[in-house]
């Protein structure tokens, strides 16, 4: 009742932005690292040379940005520690105290900006403790990962406290050379984005009047298949589907991945690299070319352009267990009163949220998949009753997977592969597709189905293989099914 009284969309948007700022490692590590350094300096009465402090902060942060905070950077830790040990002011006890302060900062920040908000949304007071526990087993560029968060913030506070000057002696120069060199090597070790080779035939007509995209946020392919969901499993007999799934993009976070679904290109091109402030879609996307409505929780508004039509459901107000039901209610209403809208995109949040709260290996995650299956079954019954599938295609997919309680680095198949089912007018039934494909193939496929031009930076493969009658021989060429890997730039 209190939440409903004081919450509105603008406040929720600001709060969500703040939570993402404190959750994303790029911003978290500088906040926690600087605060830990200032706390230790205050305790020990250490004087701070602020111009040098600012220069050091920028330098170490640039090293981390070059490395993209990728976990391979951690393997260079023995080299860093060797050079720290050689510094004339190095003190092992002081270093351990700095580490302890960073651990405290992690627990406080994660509890305040992740644990408590998630507990409110899930109506479960045990979630903060669960998240702290699971954070020890999670590798991700967020405060959901104890190792990554504490490592990078501690390295910042160590550097600021010992303030190594590369112009004083070879050991201090060596420290900076190792930090920078490791950053460039780590950058080269990052995952490469898989992109299907271009196969975009000329568009002469529309195949259907409407496309409905149901995105099961955070749905990992292996758990989706293990769940043996009654409706979606049976739907495969009426659809074209990918038993090996589609590949997501790096970084595999919701906003970058969803933007890749909408634009058909990689995050380095469309401009959204994480869920944090500052990212926006810089290129054309499907909703720029056809009347579209997007539904979901607040992050849908954040990755959408300001002129797109979005309908947002408040997670704190309604709880995670009601949000997807409300999304489907809004979608049904608009389908009956579309007024020219041809593309409907619904982001279903419960699976992703409970994966973050309890872990994607948990019983709660499995239950969320089962409830989502029931909701989609009810939705299909409704659209068939109203005859809406006669001139429409429904695409059921996901933006990314999840391992433990987070995702992004693509270290595990659970993060990398997501389900995809296509059903509706003109779609082959019981059609198993086993070639490699990407979530970026969804955008050109939607363009082809709706008879609109492809977005200007769209790449990849129109999934003609899902259609009953292919009007192009492009799918018969082997190279169209192999794809390629593109570095992240």
Q: Tell whether 450 and 393 lie within a shared domain.
A: yes
Instruction: Specify the CATH number for the domain of residue 320.
Output: 3.40.720.10
314-328 confidence digits (pLDDT tens): 999 999 999 999 999
Pure H helices in 417-487: 442-450, 479-482
Q: Is the pLDDT of residue 151 over 80?
A: yes
Over residues 319-348, mean pLDDT? 96
Q: Tell whether 177 and 234 lie within a shared domain.
A: no
Model pLDDT, residue 278 = 81
Q: Tell whether 259 and 293 lie within a shared domain.
A: yes
CA–CA dist 199, 342 (Å, integer): 23
DSSP state of 201: P
End position of a domain, from candidates 127, 159, 188: 188
End position of a domain, from candidates 140, 160, 188: 188
End position of a domain, from candidates 188, 219, 250: 188
Q: What is the rounded average pLDDT for all residues in the chain?
A: 93
Number of H helices, E strands in the chain: 23, 12
Q: Which residue in 206, 222, 471, 209 sits closest to 355, CA to CA? A: 222
Q: Tell whether 287 and 403 lie within a shared domain.
A: yes
Q: Tell whether 23 and 138 lie within a shared domain.
A: yes
Q: Is the pLDDT of residue 478 over 50?
A: no
Q: Tell whether 367 and 290 lie within a shared domain.
A: yes
Among all chains, which residue has been given the structure tokens 């000329």?
202
Which of 294-310 are b and which e, b meaning 16 or more Cβ less than 10 Å from the residue's Cβ?
Answer: bbbbbbbbbbbeeebeb
Residue 170 corresponds to which tokens in the numbers above? Answer: 């070879």
Contact 315, 305 (CB under 8 A): no
Categorize the per-residue pLDDT at 474 as very low, low, confident or very high, splitting at 50, 70 and 90: very low
Judge residue 237's burial from the number of C-beta atoms within 10 Å of its C-beta, 0-12 exposed, 13-18 middle, 19 or more buried: exposed
101-139 confidence digits (pLDDT tens): 999 999 999 999 999 999 999 999 999 999 999 999 999
Categorize the per-residue pLDDT at 400 as very low, low, confident or very high, splitting at 50, 70 and 90: very high
CA–CA dist 404, 422 (Å, integer): 28
Helix axes 350-358, 363-385, angle to 10 degrees: 180
Q: Tell whether 183 and 296 lie within a shared domain.
A: no
Q: Tell whether 33 and 126 lie within a shared domain.
A: yes
416-457 confidence digits (pLDDT tens): 999 999 999 999 999 999 999 999 999 999 999 999 999 999
Give strand pairing partners of 417.
247
CA–CA dist 179, 372 (Å, integer): 46
- The pair phi, psi for residue 199, each rounded to 5°, is -145, 85
Over residues 175-195, mean pLDDT? 97
Query: For the chain, what is the domain count?
Result: 2
Residue 318 corresponds to which tokens in the numbers above? Answer: 């309604």
Q: Tell whether 260 and 326 lie within a shared domain.
A: yes
CA–CA dist 66, 176 (Å, integer): 14
Model pLDDT, residue 472 = 42
Helix axes 127-135, 146-162, angle to 10 degrees: 70
Q: What percent of the chain has pLDDT over 70?
A: 94
Give strand pairing partners of 24.
142
Tally of CB atoms within 10 A around 482: 11
Q: Tell whether 207 and 298 lie within a shared domain.
A: yes
Provide the Cα torsion 197, 193, 449, 422; round to 10°: 110
Q: Tell whether 256 and 136 lie within a shared domain.
A: no
> What's the pTM?
0.93
Model pLDDT, residue 388 = 95
Residue 6 corresponds to which tokens in the numbers above? Answer: 């004081």
Model pLDDT, residue 470 = 52
Give strand pairing partners of 424.
393
Sign of the alpha-carbon torsion through 23, 27, 29, 33: negative
Q: Tell whether 415 and 266 lie within a shared domain.
A: yes
75-110 confidence digits (pLDDT tens): 999 999 999 999 999 999 999 999 999 999 999 999
Q: Which domain holds residue 176?
A: 2-188
DSSP state of 111: I
Specify whether the backbone of 394 is left (phi greater than 0), alpha (psi in -120 to 50) or beta: beta
254-292 confidence digits (pLDDT tens): 999 999 999 999 999 999 999 998 889 999 999 999 999
CA–CA dist 275, 135 (Å, integer): 19
Model pLDDT, residue 475 = 40
CA–CA dist 95, 154 (Å, integer): 9
């Amino acid at each position: 009742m209190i939440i409903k009284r004081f919450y509105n969309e603008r406040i929720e948007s600001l709060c969500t932005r703040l939570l993402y700022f404190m959750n994303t490692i790029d911003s978290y590590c500088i906040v926690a690292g600087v605060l830990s350094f200032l706390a230790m300096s205050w305790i020990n009465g250490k004087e701070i040379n602020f111009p040098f402090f600012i220069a050091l902060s920028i330098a170490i942060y640039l090293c981390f940005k070059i490395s993209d905070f990728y976990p391979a950077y951690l393997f260079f830790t023995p080299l860093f520690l060797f050079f720290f040990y050689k510094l004339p002011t190095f003190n092992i006890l002081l270093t351990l105290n700095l580490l302890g302060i960073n651990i405290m900062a992690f627990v406080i920040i994660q509890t305040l900006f992740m644990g408590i908000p998630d507990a409110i949304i899930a109506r479960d007071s045990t979630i903060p403790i669960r998240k702290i526990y699971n954070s020890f087993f999670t590798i991700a560029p967020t405060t959901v990962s104890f190792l990554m968060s504490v490592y990078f913030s501690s390295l910042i506070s160590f550097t600021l406290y010992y303030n190594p000057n590369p112009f004083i002696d070879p050991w201090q120069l060596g420290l900076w050379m190792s930090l920078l060199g490791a950053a460039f090597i780590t950058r080269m070790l990052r995952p490469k984005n898989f992109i299907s080779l271009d196969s975009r035939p000329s568009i002469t007509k529309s195949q259907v009047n409407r496309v409905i995209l149901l995105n099961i946020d955070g749905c990992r392919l292996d758990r989706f298949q293990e769940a043996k969901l009654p409706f979606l499993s049976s739907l495969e007999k009426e659809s074209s589907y990918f038993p090996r799934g589609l590949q997501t993009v790096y970084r595999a976070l919701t906003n970058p991945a969803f933007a890749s679904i909408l634009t058909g290109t990689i995050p380095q091109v469309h401009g959204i690299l994480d869920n944090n402030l500052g990212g926006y879609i810089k290129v054309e996307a499907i909703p720029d070319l056809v009347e579209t409505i997007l539904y979901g929780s607040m992050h849908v508004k954040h990755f959408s352009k300001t002129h797109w039509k979005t309908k947002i459901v408040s997670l704190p107000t309604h709880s995670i267990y009601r949000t997807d039901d409300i999304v489907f209610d809004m979608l049904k209403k608009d389908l009956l009163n579309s007024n020219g809208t041809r593309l409907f995109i619904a982001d279903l949040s419960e699976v992703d949220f409970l994966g973050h709260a309890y872990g994607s290996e948990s019983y709660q995650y499995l239950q969320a998949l089962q409830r989502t299956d029931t909701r989609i079954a009810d939705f299909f019954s409704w659209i068939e009753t109203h005859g809406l599938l006669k001139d429409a295609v429904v695409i059921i997919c996901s933006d990314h997977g999840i391992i433990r309680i987070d995702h992004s680095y693509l270290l595990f198949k659970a993060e990398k592969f997501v389900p995809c089912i296509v059903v509706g007018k003109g779609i082959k039934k019981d059609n198993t597709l086993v070639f490699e494909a990407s979530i970026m193939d969804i955008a050109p496929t939607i363009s082809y189905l709706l008879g609109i031009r492809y977005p200007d930076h769209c790449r990849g493969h129109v999934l003609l293989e899902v259609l009953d009658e292919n009007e192009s021989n492009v799918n018969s060429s082997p190279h169209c099914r192999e794809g390629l890997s593109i570095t992240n730039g």
